[in-house]
């Protein structure tokens, strides 16, 4: 598809007139509702849409967006970043990872810092690019530091499938794939929970199907609307949520029906199940230890598991964040980035103290970027 056609496709979802019309409808519905509605957008991609298009400023007084833990970089605890750092500094290792991971500070520094100490750290757009690196470096151990929610797990599974089928012997895996529903439950069960409804992550739902959110409406009685990433998608989803409150309904709706179904992508789910099983727990930055909230390689693939192979040099103790950083409260939806004392001062994208400022999906980075703070 050429660029012009892609633009045509998106234009309708960003049309100011449509957004304005939806704002008027949201205002009318919200005026009928006597209380306040806090809507958590779980996913960092939605936080960016909200801030980029100023949707938070279009909301009536009684509707507020609160930001969630849906950015794989933001929720990665320091000890796992230290794992990547330590592995990258092994003499015969090339460490491969995705996106913003390279900039997140661990307790010794970031992967970028490791690079300046001589580590060979490569950044790829797709896990499958690791194959080329392995082929070109037959005498090196290539460790793929896998991160991400249900969205990126199928790509890691596809890499595993290629590695096993083609008997590639120099690719290893450090798995940090996490799952969305478990932290959402932890947030709902916490004493200071302020969440009234959810905007469900869309990319995750394309893979898993909307069925993973059923429990939130049946057991926890919180409406969930799975939304696309365009501003019109988010406005439509807010309208659907307020309507549910006014009509005393609590339902799971799919606004993003152009890509999401109830069952999701079954082929991708099967591929994931072939290689992964649930890890007993994962320590989320800001949220603590959450049982069953991550995946690990199945035992039959432990010969490729860098965490097992290098277990003697990888620390396991919990490492706390910078004491001024309140990313944890932000990801639990009980604080906003500008509640942080060092936001935009000691902590900026050029000198981040926490990963919410590093990641392009992080709430602090979105507030900084779209709150006119970039000089």
Q: How far is the CB of 264 from ligand SF4 (least distance, A)?
A: 13
Smaller CB separation from ligand SF4, 126 or 302:
126
Q: How far is the CB of 162 from ligand SF4 (least distance, A)?
A: 22
Smaller CB separation from ligand SF4, 45 or 183:
45
- What distance in Å separates the CA atoms of residue 353 and residue 221, rounded to the nearest whole number? 36
Smaller CB separation from ligand SF4, 27 or 79:
79
Residue nearest to ligand SF4 according to CB distances in the complex: 354
159 with 148: CB under 8 angstroms? no
Smaller CB separation from ligand SF4, 307 or 321:
321
- What distance in Å separates the CA atoms of residue 54 and residue 48, rounded to the nearest whole number? 10
Q: How far is the CB of 27 from ligand SF4 (least distance, A)?
A: 27
Q: How far is the CB of 369 from ligand SF4 (least distance, A)?
A: 12
Q: How far is the CB of 356 from ligand SF4 (least distance, A)?
A: 4
235 with 20: CB under 8 angstroms? no
317 with 310: CB under 8 angstroms? no
Smaller CB separation from ligand SF4, 213 or 245:
213
- What distance in Å separates the CA atoms of residue 201 and residue 253, rounded to the nearest whole number? 12
Footprint on this chain of ligand SF4 (rule: CB under 6 A):
43-45, 70-71, 149, 151, 201-204, 324-327, 330, 337, 340, 342-343, 347, 352-354, 356-357, 361, 364
What six digits make up the tokens of 138? 């037959």
242 with 30: CB under 8 angstroms? yes
Smaller CB separation from ligand SF4, 324 or 374:
324
- What distance in Å separates the CA atoms of residue 163 and residue 20, rounded to the nearest whole number? 50
Report in angstroms the alpha-carbon separations of 158 from 153, 198, 237, 243. 9, 31, 33, 41
Q: How far is the CB of 221 from ligand SF4 (least distance, A)?
A: 24
Query: Coil, helix or strand for 220?
Result: coil
């Amino acid at each position: 598809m050429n660029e012009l056609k892609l633009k045509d496709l998106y234009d309708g979802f960003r049309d100011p007139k449509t957004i304005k019309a939806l704002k008027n409808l949201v205002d009318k519905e919200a005026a009928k509702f006597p209380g306040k509605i806090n809507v958590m957008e779980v996913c960092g991609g939605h936080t960016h849409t909200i801030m980029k298009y100023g949707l938070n400023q279009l909301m009536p007084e009684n509707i507020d967006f609160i930001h969630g833990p849906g950015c794989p970089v933001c929720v990665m605890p320091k000890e796992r970043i230290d794992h990547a750092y330590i592995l990258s500094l092994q003499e015969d290792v090339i460490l491969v990872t995705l996106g913003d991971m390279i900039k997140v500070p661990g307790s010794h520094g970031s992967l970028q810092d490791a690079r300046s100490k001589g580590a060979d750290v490569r950044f790829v757009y797709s896990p499958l690019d690791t194959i080329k690196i392995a082929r070109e470096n037959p005498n090196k151990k290539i460790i793929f530091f896998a991160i991400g929610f249900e969205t990126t797990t199928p790509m890691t599974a596809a890499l595993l499938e290629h590695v096993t089928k083609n008997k590639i012997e120099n690719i290893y895996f450090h798995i940090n794939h996490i799952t969305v529903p478990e932290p959402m439950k932890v947030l709902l069960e916490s004493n200071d929970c302020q969440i009234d409804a959810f905007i469900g992550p869309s990319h995750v739902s394309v893979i898993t199907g909307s069925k993973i959110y059923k429990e939130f409406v049946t057991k926890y009685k919180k409406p969930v609307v799975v939304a696309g990433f365009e501003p019109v998608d988010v406005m439509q989803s807010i309208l659907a949520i307020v309507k549910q409150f006014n009509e005393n309904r609590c339902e799971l709706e799919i606004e993003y029906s152009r890509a999401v179904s109830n069952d999701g992508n079954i082929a991708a789910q099967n591929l994931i199940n072939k290689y992964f099983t649930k890890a007993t727990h994962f320590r989320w930055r800001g949220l603590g230890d959450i049982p069953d909230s991550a995946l690990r390689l199945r035992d039959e693939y432990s010969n490729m598991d860098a965490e097992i192979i290098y277990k003697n040099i990888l620390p396991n103790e919990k490492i706390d964040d910078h004491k001024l950083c309140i990313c944890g409260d932000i990801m639990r939806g009980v604080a906003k980035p500008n509640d942080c004392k060092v936001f935009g001062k000691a902590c900026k994208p050029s000198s981040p103290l926490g990963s919410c400022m590093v990641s392009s999906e992080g709430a602090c980075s979105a507030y900084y970027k779209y709150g006119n703070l970039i000089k």
